[in-house]
Amino acid sequence: MKAALLSLIAILASASHVAAQTNPNIVWFVVDDMSANLSCYGESKISTPNLDRLAEQGIRFTRAYATSPVCSTFRSSLITGMYQTSIGVHHHRSGRSEKNPIVLPNGVLPLPVLFKKHGYHTCNGSGLTNLDFRTQPKNSRTQNRLGKTDYNFTWDSSMYDSNDWSNRDPNQPFFMQVQLHGGKLRGASRAQYDAFSKQVTELLGGTTSPEAVDLPPHYPDDSILREDWSTYLDSIRVTDHHVGLVLDRLKREKLLENTLLVFFTDHGISHARGKQFLYDEGTHIPLIIAGPSIAPGQVRSDLVEHIDIAALTLAAAGIERPESMQGANILAATHQPKTAVYAARDRCGEAADRIRSVRSENYLYIKNFYPDRPLLMPSSYKDGKLILQRLRELKDNNQTSDLTNKLLFSPNRPPEELYLYQTDGWQLVNLADSTEHQPVLLRHREMLNRWIEETKDLGSESIETYLIEVEDQIASTRSETTKSIYRQNTEIYVDWMKSGK
């Protein structure tokens, strides 16, 4: 009897060991401030060989969109698989103050919590033991630091075991988020441009020429804007290089064949009409998936949302998707392509706003809830960038085109916008007032209203909550100059709220 029991224990232990070995590892590459400017997506000014190779080995999605175009709200919805507007995490850098903590609704759990429950080692870092998220040597301050989280809800740091998979138990599968600085690498000032260009030259042998870039038509053809864009392209080259180093490590450690790889960015390029806004420049992101059971060389053009990454990741690990999760497993054999995807922009820093969009097969519809406010509203974050300062300087000197003035510097915005986004790639021609497109406009307006109602969109903050949140952000700001600007801007927004603007 005792021998039989010992034999049974041995069999069960062996089965557990095999299961631990066969469960796939998961690696997410989560990149800041970057659009789909990869050569595999058609970018001709730079080469991204590592990401191109990854795309060849799996699936490249051509129409993946962020449900939010700013870091914290994107990441809060990413890690839960939920629309940020449904769970109250839709205002940038909110819920950090003790006066206004945000707790996730019942049944909504961050993915690392679910992975830990199923025996995974959960980690969040750079994916390399010697280099940090900026592809620079780690030091005593960064050696054990977790990668970027930026969640707008109360969470327990113990949901992450470490910042690397190297210290997991033998044969334990891992869920790793490789957090990379991406478009933020270029910085926002002259000194930061120069410092980054030096890093690029040392790492990759040279920089991209500003003269080679093609600026979007709504930005002036200006040397500073050109340099910013070329430096941005170099940030993509560095990101591609870093991804290659992580892939080499996985291969060297004999982990690559049993690892699901998911590469994406947290929104588009940080520029005047990009990050924080719902045009393609702000919400269209690259999404590449490769790994076990994924056939190589696939290109998918169906509409997907970034919250779907949570659902497909759980499915790959054999973990049941929470019933309340709004993201869909877009890799499932039974998946039905979406007829529409949605996005929302709300308060970013002190810049209070509310914009919603629905994107169908052919059209992008945007509703501006505060049309009397300008697109380039007062923002200590955006106005602190050299490119925004240069744009305002050019405008003051009458050196901007009618198109630039209309799209960037108009004192107000249209209540509704409608674009044929696949042919109008920069969304320059608003069809909302076109008689011919009124049936389309009405249909998309109804689609958006229905989504707002069905997903229980929580909408704008009260003035009281707004003041709590901005005071918390002011308190965390070191620069006295920035604090002063932040307070001045806050007064403007409070006045606008009180007047109904």
The pLDDT tens digits for 125-136 are 999 999 999 999
The alpha carbons of the chain give a radius of gyration, in whole angstroms, of 23
Per-chain mean pLDDT for the chain: 95
* pLDDT(14) > 80: no
Burial (CB < 10 A; 0-12, 13-18, 19+), residue 468, is middle
Q: Which domains does the chain have, with CATH numbers?
A: 22-499 (3.40.720.10)
Sort strands 59-65 and 284-290 into parallel, antiparallel or unpaired.
antiparallel
Distance (Å) of CA 501 to CA 368, 405, 474, 486 = 12, 21, 24, 19
pLDDT at 2: 37
Report the candidate in 412, 400, 430 with the shortest Cα–Cα distance to residue 496.
Answer: 412
Burial (CB < 10 A; 0-12, 13-18, 19+), residue 116, is middle
Burial (CB < 10 A; 0-12, 13-18, 19+), residue 74, is buried
- pLDDT tens digit string along 201-250? 999 999 999 999 999 999 999 999 999 999 999 999 999 999 999 999 99
pTM equals 0.95
* pLDDT(145) > 80: yes
- pLDDT tens digit string along 60-112? 999 999 999 999 999 999 999 999 999 999 999 999 999 999 999 999 999 99
Distance CA 236, CA 98 (A): 38
Confidence at 22, pLDDT banded by 50, 70, 90: confident
* pLDDT(11) > 70: no
Mean pLDDT, to the nearest integer, of 31-49? 98
CB 134 within 8 A of CB 181: yes
